[in-house]
Structure formats: C-alpha cells, structure tokens
Amino acid sequence: WPAFSGDVEAILKLKRERDAVILAHNYQTPEIFHCVADIVGDSLALARRAMEVDAGIIVLAGVHFMAETAKLLNPGKTVLIPDSGAGCSLADSITAEDVRLMRRRHPGVPVVTYVNTSAAVKAESDICCTSGNALAVVESLGVPRVMLLPDEYLAQNIAAQTDVEIIPWQGHCEVHDRFTPADIRELREAHPGVTVLAHPECPPEVVAEADFAGSTAAMSDYVRRHRPASVVLMTECSMSDNVAVDHPDVEFVRPCNLCPHMKRITLANIRTALEENRHEVTIDPLVADRARRAVERMLEV
Ligand code: 13P
Ligand code: SF4
C-alpha cells in the first residue's frame, strides 16, 4: 500500500524509539489494523491486553472510553489517544448523575455498565461488561434483577438469554441502530445462502433475524470456525475489511455503517501522537480508583 508507506515506516520507527505499543480496535481501518497495530481485538481483549503492556507508552487506536479503560488498568503507563474527540454515542448517552438517579429509583439492584461509558460512569457502577461477556457478568451476580446500562438493545438482547430481569437505559449506538430487519431480508433475497452475523448493539429485531450475534471478536471467530461461503457482518465497515484479509475464500457482502468516532483515528494522527506525545489520557484519581474496581471485577468473571 504505497499511499501509506511513509506514515507506516515513520510509526514503526517511532514505536521503537519511544518504547510504545499500539492497541487497535477491530473497527480501525486496515492500514492501522494490519500495518502498525501490535495488539488488535474487541473491547474485552483490548482491556485484558492493556493490563499486560510493559512498554512505557500505549497508543489506543480506538475511541476515548477504550483509552480510559487502558489507563485504568495500567495506570503507570502514558496512554495516548490520537484524536481526543473520538467519542461514542453510547458513552455520551449517560452521566454519573443518571446512574445515581437509577440507583435511587431501584434501591439494592446492582448496576452493570457497559465499558462504552466514561470513567465517571464506571465509578458509579458495581461491575462493567462488554458485548463479549455481558451474559456471564449479569449471571455472575446471582441476583434476580440487575440494571444493565446504557445500551438498551444490548440489555434487551441479554434479557432474551437469561432469567435475570434486566432494567435498561435508553442509550443506543448510532452505528448499529441503523440496521433493520428489512435490511437482512433484502440481503438474503439478493444473496441466497448468505450467513448473517450481527453485533448485540443492533436492535433485537435485527438480532432475531441474524444467524448469530456476538462481539466483534466473536464474529471474527465465527468466520474462522465456520468458513461460510458468503457472510455479512451487521456492524461497522472496517470489520469486514479486516477479517476478509485472512479469508480470501469467503465472500464478504458489505452493507455496513461507518462509526464517525472510530474513523477520527488515522495513520497521520497516530504518527503525530507519537511525535508530540498527545493526547494524553488522564483520569481524576478519586474517580479512577472506583472505576478500576468495576473493570477489575469484570475481568475476574
Ligand atoms: P466490541 O466489544 O464487540 O468490540 O464492541 C465495541 C464497540 O464499540 C461496538 O460498537
Ligand atoms: Fe460507540 Fe457505536 Fe462507534 Fe462502537 S460503533 S464506538 S458503540 S458509536
């Protein structure tokens, strides 16, 4: 990929000089995912692997809550996010005060928060979860009712798999919210036999029409294990681009939706992040201690 080679070479050199590693989410573009990232994965994998980083600097090629989670789990490291405006509609849908309000409304009911939240929101929760472990986390609490905030669709999709009563919040992912059951029916008509995989941030009616629902890592594993002749991933566009590289024998049908926040991260701003040490992620220590407990409890499940 000649268009990218200047930035790629510079980033590889800067990583060595600055003792830095790049963690990239599955939604990063292929030139980031395949050419400069040291560790790739879903939110759960990035959290786990961030804890094990020895290098002095972590560059998080992903959105802000992912960089905050890395900082919570490895507080001695410098964590950089190449664009500090890389947010998330789910993280923006709920505040710490909203969580306190929910606790007053539902006294004694534990609060599970999706990692797609700010550190301040995590600090108000009992335990975090990701799309990869939400069911296990909810059931690990051994109680009849939990709040699962803020993704309403994830809460509904988990509620369909457990006897635990789930109290949701009304947050949505602006990317997965746009998929509809009609999209799936049209795809199946246009591509007979296509396997449909959906992310659990999709509306429950979409998940109901899919062949499988799971985190970005689970979707990738599904393709590796089942090798369908043709597949569509109802999720962010770069997912198919990244997975397709390893599966030239699989046809990827590609209606997809872009995440404008993930797309703020580019090779150019990763390079600048390493050159100028920006944008450093810091978390108020009083918030960080409580938020870390919620993330660490999740990792123990
Ligand atoms: P995963 O944890 O499945 O990678 O999802 C993160 C995310 O932001 C999905 O929109
Ligand atoms: Fe947030 Fe949705 Fe983008 Fe994931 S895809 S970072 S949930 S807005």
- Residue-wise DSSP of 43-54: HHHHHHHHHT--
What's the whole-number mean pLDDT along residues 85-89?
98
ipTM of this predicted complex?
Answer: 0.98
pTM score, whole prediction:
0.97
Same domain, 8 and 82: yes
pLDDT of res. 104? 98
pLDDT of res. 1? 62
Q: Is 293 left (phi over 0), alpha (psi -120 to 50) or beta?
A: alpha
Q: Tokens 């999740």, residue?
A: 298
Same domain, 6 and 81: yes
Query: Tell me, what CATH number does 32's domain have?
Result: 3.40.50.10800
The token pair that represents 39 in the structure block? 């560790």
290 domain-assigned: no
116 domain-assigned: yes
Same domain, 217 and 275: no
Q: Measured between alpha carbons, how far is 295 from 300 in angstroms, rounded to an integer?
A: 9
Pairing of strands 57-61, 127-129: unpaired
Final residue in a domain of this structure, among 140, 172, 204:
172
Q: What percent of the chain has pLDDT over 90?
A: 98
Judge whether 43 is annotated as a binding position.
yes
Average pLDDT taken over every residue of the chain: 97
Same domain, 253 and 268: no
Q: Which of 63, 131, 179 maximizes ligand 2 atoms within 8 Å of its Cβ, making it the mutation to test the pocket? A: 63
Number of domains the chain contains: 3
What's the whole-number mean pLDDT along residues 45-50?
97
- Range(s) of the domain holding residue 25: 2-86+263-285
The Cβ of residue 300 has, within 10 Å, a number of other Cβ atoms equal to 7
Beta-bridged to residue 58, according to DSSP, are 21, 79
111 domain-assigned: yes
Check pLDDT > 90 for residue 195: yes
Judge whether 125 is annotated as a binding position.
no
Same domain, 198 and 226: yes
Task: Report in angstroms the alpha-carbon separations of 276 from 49, 270, 300.
Answer: 24, 10, 36
Final residue in a domain of this structure, among 172, 200, 230:
172
pLDDT of res. 4? 82
291 domain-assigned: no
Same domain, 155 and 193: no
Q: Model confidence at 125, in pLDDT bands (50, 70, 90)?
A: very high
Same domain, 154 and 121: yes
293 domain-assigned: no
Same domain, 79 and 7: yes
Provide the angle, in degrees to the nearest 10, between the axes of the packed helices 64-73 and 285-300. Answer: 90
What's the whole-number mean pLDDT along residues 125-135?
97
Judge whether 131 is annotated as a binding position.
yes
Ligand 1 binding pocket (C-beta < 6 A) is 26, 42-44, 116, 130-132, 173, 199, 201, 215-216
294 domain-assigned: no
